Amino acid sequence: MLKGKIAKLAVSDVRFPTSLEQHGSDAMHANPDYSAAYVVIETDDGLKGYGITFTVGRGTEIENEDGRGEKGHSEPPRSGMKRGHKKEMLKEGYPAYTTSCAWLGYSDQQLTQLCSTALTEGWTKFKVKVGADLQDDIRRCSLIRKMIGPENSLMIDANQRWDVAEAISYVTKLAEFRPLWIEEPTCPDDILGHAAISKALAPLGIGVATGEQCHNRVMFKQFLQASALQFVQIDSCRVGSVNENLAIMLMAAKFRVPVCPHAGGVGLCELVQHLILFDYISVSASLENRMCEYVDHLHEHFKSPTVIRNAHYMPPKDPGFSSEMFDESVQKHQFPHGEVWRSILEKNGS
């Protein structure tokens, strides 16, 4: 039994200026700076633990001050880890989709270039940010669909932009591009609104994906009971710890709804890869309609970065939760006194 006691706790406001190149831009966040409240806990016998909560810049200081909310506890996992599934993951990895090609603020030229590169790298599943302007979205979805062809998967994400009636009308007009799902079509707390959208879009073969903003397992239970989503999007930082995410995955398995986690951000890909492997090996034992988001930004700041091979997450080989950042990265990107932010603020005259 470990006998060490917590001797030190350090919290850093770490922000990356992704807004400078429109990385992460969507219908609700035009100029996000991907950021994190980064916590290091040290015991009196020298052990360290690392934790991250992702933000888009403004609000990180709140996370630094705030405690965790409603905590989850895990139900006993289904017995019988299947060796064949474990070997399959070690050899082939877990299927991923990319959001990196089609942020809302990207030009058509940039979108085309990134999509073309992704296709050569083996990507077959693409997500497009939508919701700000219908005609613009029709043009961008048309461009992406023509590039990836009819056999590859296309998803769209509105980041909560619409009300219920607007979501149904808007997505119906994008149905010609055959999106697999519409993600966060309306307020993330509106469970019955999502149910209405799901029912309206079902004849079009378009599912609803949501969950990255759900703050506890009870909300997920109600979404599942109301048939308000067809894809469960857990987030590795949103709910109360790994345990609560395990409970959500077990509920999703009970309702036979696939788990397709939200990732990207600062460290979210590094964290969520552990959850998807557990889901496949110990809970669902299925890859049907399952994939995990991948965003190709900021992995270089982590000591155990995500490894993608042929558009699949490869199982991490280092111990731990893959959340430790390089000290140099943390120091340079501390807000507002780190080297990177001092330079930016001086240029802006702040």
Q: Which residues are the active-site residues?
A: 129, 262
Report the Cα 181 to chain-centroid distance in Å.
15
Round to whole Å and give the CA distance between 185 and 126: 17
Q: What one-letter code names the amino acid at 88? A: E
Round to whole Å and give the CA distance between 169 and 98: 26
Q: Are 160 and 148 in contact (CB under 8 A)?
A: no
Q: Which of 312, 257, 249 is nearest to 279 (CA)?
A: 249
Three-state SS annotation for 45-93: CCCEEEEEEEECCCCHHHHHHCCCCCCCCCCCCCCCCCHHHHHHHHHHC
Angle subtended at Cα 88 by Cα 86 and Cα 92, rounded to the nearest 5 degrees: 130
